A and B are shown apart, each in its own frame.
Chain A
Amino acid sequence: MIVSFRLNGQQTTFRFTHPVSLLNVLRNELAAPGAKSSCDQGECGSCSVMLDEELVCSCLVLASDVEGSEVTTVEGVSGPDGQLHPVQRAMHEAGAVQCGFCTPGIVVAAVELFDAEPSPSASRIREALAGNICRCTGYGAIVRSFERLAGREAP
């Protein structure tokens, strides 16, 4: 089967012979390893990407279902000049990155949040990131980074 879609703005085509997830195709066929494979069942959010307008766990999306879609991964979040997205900058400065394995998924989820809502409430920030597990930080620095970005200093 052949599937064509846009990946981070680039037209992309790939061919496959057995059912495979979008995550697997991104990581192993399309040299876009930014999305991470961790739980493989939609629980941890490490593989989060934007599928058109929707935030999805790419481990749960069949590659055959992305025909004609626009997929944005963490690699497509930075500006065209390569500058960090404000979400990335906020996380960087607040020490919200430790091992970093959850980071790509959190970046994509937070970009979706802040694109829709530039100054989300503390509750809204937590709700938006409730699908992203981080095992290192205890979420403290992640919360602080986004509360600062939202213009609300963390308590």
Chain B
Amino acid sequence: MTSQTGQRLGVTGGVGESTIRPDGVAKLRGEFAYAQDLTAEGMLWAATTRSPHARARIVSIDIAPALAIGGVHAVLTHDDVPGRALFGLEHPDQPVLASEEVRYWGEPVAVVAAEDEHTARLAAAAIEVNYEELEPLVDPEEADRRDDVFRRMTVRRGDPEIRGSVVVEGFYEVGMQDQAPLGTEAGLATPDGHGGVDLYATSQYVHVDHEQVVASLGLRPDQVRAHPVGIGGAFGAREDVNLHIHLCLLALHTNRPVKMVYHRAESFTGHVHRHPARMWFRHEADDDGRLVRVEARILIDGGAYASTTGPVLANACYFAVGPYRCDSVAIEGVGARTNNPPCGAMRGFGAVQACFAHEAQMDRLAQSLGMDPLELRRRNALVTGDIMPTTGQRIETPLPTQEVIDSLAAMPRLDEPPTSDPLQLPGGTGLTSGLEHVRRGVGYALSIKNLGFSEGFDDYAQARVKLTPAGAVVESAAIEVGQGLVTVLAQIARTVLGVSEAEVRHVDTSRIDSAGSTSASRQTQLSGGATREAAERIRAMILEKYAADHLDDEGAWRGEELVVPMSRLATEGWEETVTFRHPPTEAPDENGQGTLHADFAVAGHRAVVDVDAELGLVRVVRVDTAQDVGRALNPEAVRGQIEGGIMQGVGLAIMEELILDEGKMRNATFTDYLLPTILDAPAVEALLIEQDGSWGPFGAKGVGEPPTISSTPAVVAALRAVTGRPLHRVPVRPQDMALESVP
């Protein structure tokens, strides 16, 4: 990995260094406490009864057989929800427990608490629910025709009559991907003895969990505390409530601590997925390859409940053109409501679906023009000061699209020729392929993504910084999901305060205001921004009080003189709490126009694949990338995000899809939902493009999502280069590559 700039600032362990994560040793020893590992004295175990139908009327629920089992303490249904019967991240439209009708396969109908997990699951299975099956609506196009939608939107800009001399048109599809975090949903709720409850559960956003628990339990906000806990990955799957309200209901009902851990199959139904998409695109360009007009229709399947379908659809529409200039755009978006499993946030959030289509279109355009695909992209590159082709927003923060393209073009080809090592052959040690059948292909793709929340959302993060005898302490309710926020906030505190020791403490919803969601690539910028500002205020106050000019481990200095030692400063109770907001955004007008986004990031990927085209087998050899990171606060952690994000993008390109049959999942296990293993991992060379000017701390931009967005289309472009097939759908299956015509 190389970096274009990057000087270090001050203290050891500060910004710009690849500081090692503080929780690493505990995780390596197996001592780190995940939500799955929590226990409490007198704890009960909970389990959930779920709908076996994609759509059915609930005729009756008989809980008596469950209550008759020894060791069962509570069986709760919709009648036992004391507050708001519905919950939802954006719109409360999903029943806490289904009443009258179930709308997707796996929807929770009842919950049970018992002495142990085995008994709880037996009891959940013993509940007799009498259903009258109804015809499920599983086709999102039919839902669109019936106007059964969560959101429709139009993005319109420029002269609709303008026409180009070169036209390419295509239809594209993206399958339903799952985040598949290794830790399943889990949590513990503990009654406080005064009618309130403490919740320790998997989450990306404890303050919205808190709001929803309070509403459905009918409690005062101060009666519920949602605590950050150890999380085994997230990738979007933990923004929505699932077991949170259930656990709190059971804890208050039984007056005992209650724990629940989803099994893997349950986890597949218990969280939202990446929206499947069907997309039509038409690109028109002039003879020089400049985009003249882009039209698209994007249909995503939201499943049974709203979750974040609205903003996911918006992202797909706003980023439908990609990082390219175009003055005439018309995008129609539909977020359909069906009886398929609910879809919501997953890394890349709408930009992933659109990028697969717009990058395929750009390649087809290049082919029609007889132009190099990177040259076509260079001619259209959207850069700082340009107008977003979709929303009309002027881009004020650095957007190094040209640098990304030039870097990709200049990166050496590090791939070595294919060998007969079975681990390196498509199909692997099955030895189905032979070296003589292997052909290599290369493909490129670019992406653009918004950073932070958009469309007028009041997006903020609060953090508290203290100077203590143990060093700097950062308090925050931001969720560490593995990405390394816990490392980077400490680096920021060290750099600003000049102290070597810094610790991040996760505090519950009663002790600090929201840090917002760990999503939208936003926490380094938002919680990092709050941490920096709080630390800077403390530093400024200390320097002012002691007329000093420098702060470090020794204390405050005036020139060569130590004015006050750290041993004294650290007992003076310095503490600052800051709420950091990014530049405000506005809601879109009826044409999807406005200053809707706070910041953007671009990335580009070059994929190298080996394909046995007769068998349709693939090995992704390398995925190299250039990514706009603003400033890499921790280069190794950035690299970890890039490599991990690329792997998920490769997964979507060639193997990951939840298969539905009339709304029912057919592969809700790790045996049948294929995840990339170490043998599928491509080599990655990552070039970090650093430019000052973003509002993130020290110019940092979010880095988590871009690696996932354009890696998928780059891989598919490489597959097209080898096979000559259109490959309009991901994941690409063997038969799509090997057979002459697959519908």
The verdict on A95 contacting B261 (CB below 8 Å), with A35-B30, A38-B184, A75-B30 known, is no
- Asked if B34 contacts A74 (CB within 8 A), the reply is no
Q: A75-B30, A123-B423 are in contact. Are A141 and B643 (CB under 8 A)?
A: yes
Given the known interface contacts A28-B117, A102-B182, the answer about A133 and B23 at a Cβ–Cβ threshold of 8 Å is: no
Within 8 A of B (CB), among A103-155: 103-104, 107, 123, 126-127, 129-143, 155
Question: In residues 4-45 of chain A, which contact B (Cβ within 8 Å)?
Answer: 18, 20, 27-28, 32-41, 43-44
Is there a chain A Cβ closer than 8 Å to B671's Cβ? yes
* Contact of B643 with A88 in the complex, beta carbons under 8 Å: no
Measured between alpha carbons, how far is A33 from B231 in the docked complex, in Å? Answer: 14
Contact of B264 among A18, A38, A129 (CB under 8 A): A38
Chain A residues with CB under 8 Å of B678's CB are 126, 129-130, 132, 134, 139, 142-143
* Cross-chain contact A99 with B677 (CB below 8 angstroms): no
Interface footprint category on B: 35 or more
The docked-state distance in angstroms from the alpha carbon of A135 to that of B184 is 12
Q: How long is the Cα–Cα vector from A107 to B28 in the complex, in angstroms? A: 7
Interface residues of B in 611-652 (CB under 8 A from A): 636-637, 639-640, 642-648
- In the complex, A46 Cα to B671 Cα: how many Å? 14
Residues in A whose Cβ lies below 8 Å from that of B118? 18, 20
The residue in chain B whose Cβ has the minimal distance to the Cβ of A124 is B423
| Chain A 63-77 interface 0/1 with B at a Cβ cutoff of 8 Å (1 = within) | 000000000011101
Contact across chains for A104 and B117 when beta carbons are under 8 A apart: no
Interfacial chain A residues near B232, Cβ < 8 Å: 36, 38, 99-101
In Å, the complex CA distance between A20 and B636 comes to 41
Contact between A39 and B23 (Cβ–Cβ < 8 Å)?
Answer: no
Report B178-210 CB contacts with A as 1/0, cut-off 8 Å: 011111100000000000000000000000000
Cβ B481 vs Cβ A97 within 8 A: no
The verdict on B235 contacting chain A, using a C-beta distance below 8 Å, is yes
Q: How far is the CB of A138 from chain B (nearest CB, A)?
A: 3
Known: A135-B180, A135-B181, A141-B640. A41 touches B264 (CB 8 A): yes
Query: Does A36 lie within 8 Å of B183, measured CB to CB?
Result: yes
B289-297, B304-312, B679-687 - the one binding chain A? B679-687
Do A139 and B675 touch (CB < 8 A)? no
B21, CB-defined interface residue at 8 Å: yes
Chain A residues lying within 8 Å of B639, measured Cβ to Cβ, are: 95, 140-141
Chain B residues, Cβ within 8 Å of A130: 677-679
A136 and B29 in contact (CB under 8 A), knowing A28-B117, A130-B678? Answer: no
In angstroms, Cα B91 to Cα A45, docked, is: 38
Q: Taking the nearest CB of chain B, how far is it from the CB of A137, in angstroms?
A: 5
Task: Tell me which residues across on chain B come within 8 A of A91, comparing CB atoms.
Answer: 24, 28
CB-contact partner of B423 in A32, A97, A99, A127, under 8 A: A127
Query: Is the Cβ of B645 less than 8 Å from the Cβ of A97?
Result: no
Q: Give B18-52 as 1s and 0s: 1 = Cβ < 8 Å from A's Cβ atoms.
A: 10110111011111111011000000000000000
Contacts of B684 in A (CB 8 A): 138, 140
A79 to B118, CA, bound (A): 36
Q: Which residues of A contact B140 (CB under 8 A)?
A: none
Q: Which residues of B contact A88 (CB under 8 A)?
A: 25, 28-29
Q: Whose C-beta in chain B lies nearest to the C-beta of A127?
A: B423
| Interface hits, B425-484 → A, CB 8 Å | 481-484
Contact indicator A41/B182 (Cβ below 8 Å): no
In the complex, what residue of chain A is closest to B424 when comparing beta carbons? A123
CB of B407 within 8 A of chain A? no
Given contacts A101-B34, A101-B233, contact A138 B29 (CB under 8 A): no
Cross-chain pairs A/B with CB under 8 angstroms, 7 sampled: A33-B33, A44-B670, A98-B482, A98-B640, A101-B181, A139-B681, A141-B640
Chain B residues in the interface with A (C-beta under 8 A): 18, 20-21, 23-25, 27-34, 36-37, 117-118, 179-184, 231-235, 261, 263-264, 414, 421, 423, 481-484, 636-637, 639-640, 642-648, 669-671, 675, 677-679, 681, 683-684
